[in-house]
Structure formats: C-alpha cells, structure tokens
C-alpha cells in the first residue's frame, strides 16, 4: 500500500551529515525527474477504503483528498477541510466515525463530511500510521521524543505504549499489534497486546542495502516488507533470528487472508499465497494493493477498487470516474476557494489520465472549456511520456495510454531520504529502555 513518514531528534556527526545530504540529493534528483514527467500531479488513484457499510465503501482515501458516497453519488472531500497534508492516514473506528491522522493530530470525519478535531486533549501529535482491526483503531504517532501507540475511540485517546526508540510502521490484528523498524543493519519487530504489553521482540540482520521496513500482519502471522536501494523489495518474516524472504519484486502487496484463501501480489500480478508460496492467477487484472476493511476484502486496481473473491478480483467497489466535485454547501465558507482550486486541479489530472469525472448540478464550478481542451491536447502530446503512480503498497511508472509497468523510484528515493535522516538524528544511546504508561481507571 501504501506510502514516507518519520523524523527524529538526536546528535549530528560530520560523516553522518555528509551521508544525509548525499542521500537527500539523490532522493531530490529522482523525485524531481519523476515529477517533470507529470503535467500537474500524480495520476489520481484510490488508495484504500476508509469506511464501509452494507452497500459497500462509503469513504475512500485518494492520493489527494477523500471520496465520500452521498445520496447523489460520490463527492470529493478536499484536503482544505483538514488544512494539512493532501495524503494522510485515514481509517474508521469500529462502529464509529472515520479518523484522519494528520501532522497535528487526530481528526474525525462525520457522515456528512465535516472534519473536526478529536475532542480529547491527548489527540495532538504527529500521526505516522493508523491500523484497525476488530480490536479497535490504533495510531502510531510521535509526541516529543516519544514514539507512541494509542487507542483511538470516538471520545477518548488512550496511550498504550511509548518508546524513546523510533518505530517506523504499525499493523493490527484482532488480538495483537505489530511494530517494525529498520535499525541501521538490523530488522526489529515488536509484538504488543491490545493493552500495550510487550509480547515478543525479534531481530534479524537486514538484507543488503535495506532502506525501509513496513509492517504486514496477516492471519495472526507477522510478516514484513523490506525495501532496498536496488529498487527491489522483499516480503518475508523473521524466523529464529533470521530474515526469511518469501516473495520479491518492485511492487509488493499483501499478504491478506480472506474467506476464500490467502492472496499476495507482486509487480501487479495477483496470486494465491499457499504454504507461503506464490501461485499466480492467470489472466487476473492488475492488483497494486490488497486490504481488508471490516468484512470487506478488496484490491486496488487500475482506476479504482475491486472486491477480492476466491477466484480473484470481482466487481468494482469504486471507480474514479464516479467521482464528482465537492458539495460546497457543506464546506465552510473560508475554505471554499481553496477547496474549489484543489478539485479543479484533481479534475485536470483525472482528465489527463483519460478519466472523465461524474458531473453534478451542485458543487465546484467545472473547468473552462478552453482549459479542458488544452489539457486534452497536452495529454495527446504526452502519450510517449511517462507518468508516476504511487500505490498504497508501492509505486509504478506508467506511460500514458499504455499498461503501467511497476517501478519504485519515488518510494525508494523517499525511503533513502528517511533512512539517512534517521541515521542523522537517531539518539546515540545504544539500547534505550522502553517505557509503557500504565492504564488508569
């Protein structure tokens, strides 16, 4: 799936600073090269289901903003509503409202699309990741010098675990949590109970040139995704102090356990995952992420989200062509101008990708005809050019109008930058002791 996110405070040494700036220069060069292949922004993409009901997804996370299902169709929720990052973690509290994890803290999304600050005074703090299961909604965040895991309820935020060591990603199962981090040349995994008690900690030597580690908790089994500077990734797990790779590729998704079996995807190819072996499904459409939301199993595919059935990808759950402009009547007046501009930019990118968004009588004004014609002409001229696409579990470079071929330039560049920044700012203490706050009644 899906997606860079860390910073720390610590001591700077000359050699590490040089390495940091070298890595930053490489990352910046790659990102600039990729961005010059785009006219305005990354091609629109549906990243994950945030909320669902008996009729299917009701709130979808996009690579810029959210999409909300309303009585008159799908509407765009612009980032201006939360005033921060265009892409932010978003999930739902089981049986409760949707939550956005922003740089300033936790926000709630009402069924009408209103975005408000979480009422708990402990909600502020830079949210790095959200993870949900039947056991609840949990957030990994940075608060001062601590990396914390918190439980998020509708009216309260409870700190379960805190550590002076930085952690990079969080995953949740019905009965446990998984934290992972890349510590120089070591992979580290920590399992926690849903109350924050440490259950087990595992370490292994990292593969050569590793730059990032992501959590993958499926069916109670703790997997992980390791990215390397060679543009390759490894899906595997730590077994008796050794890293055991299971699937390799530049774009990896899953694994996921469903009622119809286990699935995984590598470089867009959907496969069964039986006895931890990849068995490709012939003729299956591309899959760039594999996820569950409540009882809903689904995959990110070209131009939207599709249900995941025992036979592979099934019916469409959401298509980007269904997306319409924001309902400005529901947008606070002081945010309407920014929201309109954000939608118009996103609409341009939709059209440039060959997707015509849904029309609505009410909402943000459409593009001027001349502007639309200009961008359509620009799209025709750029058919031979490449466009970058970031997925929920990886990224790909695609030529406009051609099948997308996976690559990992933007993600690895960002991972390189994060890895060098981690080395630059990591505290010099060898093994700081974790602290866990006790629950109070």
What would the pLDDT profile of 291-306 be if each residue is shown by its tens digit? 999 889 999 998 999 9
Per-residue model confidence as pLDDT tens digits over 405-436? 333 444 444 454 444 444 444 444 444 444 44
The most confident of the ranges 1-15, 308-322, 359-373 is 308-322
- 428 vs 75 pLDDT, higher one: 75
Residue 232 confidence (pLDDT):
87
Q: 333-392: per-residue pLDDT in tens?
A: 999 999 999 999 999 999 999 999 886 544 555 554 444 444 443 333 333 333 322 333
Q: What is the pLDDT of residue 365?
A: 52
Statement: residue 73 has pLDDT above 90: yes
Which of 23-27, 29-33, 152-156, 167-171 shows the lowest per-residue confidence on average (mean pLDDT)?
Answer: 29-33
pLDDT 10s digits, 184-218? 999 999 999 999 999 999 999 999 999 999 999 99
Task: Give me the pLDDT at residue 43, please.
Answer: 86
Mean pLDDT (whole number) for 122-134? 94
Q: How does strand 73-77 pair with strand 323-324? A: parallel
């Amino acid at each position: 799936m899906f997606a860079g996110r860390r910073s720390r405070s610590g001591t700077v040494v000359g050699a590490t600073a040089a390495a940091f700036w070298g890595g930053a220069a490489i990352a910046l060069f790659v990102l600039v090269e990729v961005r010059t292949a785009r006219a305005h922004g990354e091609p629109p993409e549906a990243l994950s289901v945030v909320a669902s009901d008996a009729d299917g997804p009701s709130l979808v996370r996009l690579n810029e903003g959210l999409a909300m299902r309303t009585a008159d169709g799908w509407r765009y929720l612009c980032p201006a509503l939360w005033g921060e990052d265009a892409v932010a973690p978003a999930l739902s509290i089981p049986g409760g409202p949707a939550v956005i994890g922003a740089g300033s803290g936790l926000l709630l999304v009402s069924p009408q699309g209103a975005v408000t600050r979480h009422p708990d005074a402990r909600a502020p703090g830079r949210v790095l990741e959200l993870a949900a299961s039947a056991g609840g909604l949990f957030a990994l965040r940075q608060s001062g010098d601590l990396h914390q895991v918190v439980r998020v309820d509708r009216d309260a935020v409870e700190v379960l675990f805190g550590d002076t060591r930085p952690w990079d990603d969080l995953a949740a199962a019905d009965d446990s949590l998984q934290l992972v981090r890349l510590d120089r040349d070591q992979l580290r995994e920590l399992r926690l109970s849903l109350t924050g008690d440490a259950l087990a900690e595992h370490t292994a030597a990292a593969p050569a040139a590793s730059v990032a580690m992501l959590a993958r908790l499926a069916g109670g089994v703790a997997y992980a995704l390791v990215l390397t500077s060679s543009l390759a990734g490894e899906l595997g797990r730590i077994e008796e102090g050794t890293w055991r790779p299971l699937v390799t590729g530049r774009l990896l998704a899953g694994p996921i356990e469903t009622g119809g079996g286990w699935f995984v995807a590598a470089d867009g190819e959907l496969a069964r995952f039986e006895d931890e072996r990849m068995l490709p499904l012939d003729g299956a459409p591309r899959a760039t992420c594999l996820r569950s939301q409540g009882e809903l199993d689904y995959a990110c595919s070209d131009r939207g989200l599709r249900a995941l059935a025992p036979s592979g990808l099934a019916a469409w759950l959401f298509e980007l062509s269904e997306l319409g402009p924001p309902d400005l009547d529901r947008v606070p007046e002081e945010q309407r101008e920014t929201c309109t501009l954000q939608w118009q930019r996103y609409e341009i990118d939709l059209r440039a990708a060959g997707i015509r968004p849904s029309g609505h009588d009410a909402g943000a004004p459409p593009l001027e005809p001349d502007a639309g014609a200009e961008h359509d002409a620009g799209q025709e001229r750029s058919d031979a050019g490449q466009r970058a696409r970031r997925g929920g579990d990886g990224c790909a470079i695609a030529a406009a109008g051609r099948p997308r071929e996976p690559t990992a330039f933007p993600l690895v560049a960002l991972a390189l930058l994060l890895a060098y920044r981690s080395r630059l700012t990591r505290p010099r203490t060898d093994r700081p002791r974790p602290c866990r706050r006790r629950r109070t009644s």
